[in-house]
Amino acid sequence: MAKNKAPKAKVQRAKVDPRRVAFERLFERRIEALKEDARLLMNLSNPYNYTYGPEDAELLRKEMTLLTRTTVDAFENYLPKQDLLRRKRKLRGTGAE
């Protein structure tokens, strides 16, 4: 005798945006490459292998700051204003949304 089987429930799967998948894959890969490049830059700080002065450290700070600000600004320019305000409040620690 065949037993009555309960009908299988359909599993709701969220539609996966292929652009999001590509972004996550590339983002992870590029962040890792950035970390490796930063490590290589830090190797230049070894005084036993290289000679540098305070002006070189200041130049590095300015270049890294400019690169970071430019990159973050590029992303923030595309965010909806509401998301941007929420993010800034969170960074300031007010938490009010």
pLDDT over 90 percentage in the chain: 56
Q: Is the dihedral of CA 24, 28, 30, 31 positive or negative?
A: positive
Provide the whole-model pTM.
0.63
Q: How far apart are CA 86 and CA 92, in angstroms?
A: 10
pLDDT in the model for residue 14: 80
Q: What is the pLDDT of residue 67?
A: 94
Query: What is the spatial distance between Cα 71 and Cα 66, in angstroms, rounded to a whole number?
Result: 8
